[in-house]
Every structure is written in structure tokens, then in C-alpha cells.
Amino acid sequence: MLALARALMTRPKLLLLDEPSLGLSPFLVGRVFEKVASIPRDLGTSVLLVEQKARKALAICDRVYAMKLGRVTFTGPPSELLTDTQKLRNVFL
């Protein structure tokens, strides 16, 4: 969380986040996702999020780019994956 705060102090146009929830308690994971979701709205900063917690990430993102073995396997709105469980499995498993 300190690293996130330090990164935001510079007012970046783009913030790259790699697994910000890794190793955190479930309570803190929720708080981190709330903060990440508020960054574009409050600061006007775009966020590129790489995250294993797919459902949490899909709940806060505007666009999805999923990769498997170094290749993009899906690109589109998160609603497309959230409403189609089979597609969600194919993309992330």
C-alpha cells in the first residue's frame, strides 16, 4: 500500500500495477481494489492492472486483455466475461 501511495505522489498518467492483492488479508484486498477503482475517477490516472483475482479485477475494470502463454486470448468489456461463465473459464483457466 505504501508503494501505491508513493507511485501516486508523482501524479502519473498511467499506473502499472502487478498483483497488488498478493499476500494481503481478504479485508485489505477489498480496500486495495476500492482504491484502485477510485484512481481513474479521482485522479484521472489510467490503470493497467495485472491480477490473478479475476472476478475482483473484472468488477472494477473498463476493458479486459487476457493472455495465455504470451498471447492475447481475449479482449473486450468485462461484462462479456461476467455473463458467460464458460467463456470466463476458457479465458482464465
* End-to-end alpha carbon distance in the chain: 28
Residue 10, C-alpha cell as written in the block:
508523482
pTM of the shown model: 0.82
- Buried-exposed string 19-58: b where 16+ CB fall within 10 A, e elsewhere: ebbeeeeeeebeebbeebbebeeeeebebebebeebebbb
Domain ranges of the chain: 1-62, 63-93
Question: From CA 32, how far away is CA 21, in angstroms rounded?
Answer: 7
Q: Is the pLDDT of residue 93 over 80?
A: no
* pLDDT one-digit tens code per residue, 12-55: 999 999 999 999 999 999 999 999 999 999 999 999 999 989 88
CATH entry 3.40.50.300 includes domain 1-62 = yes
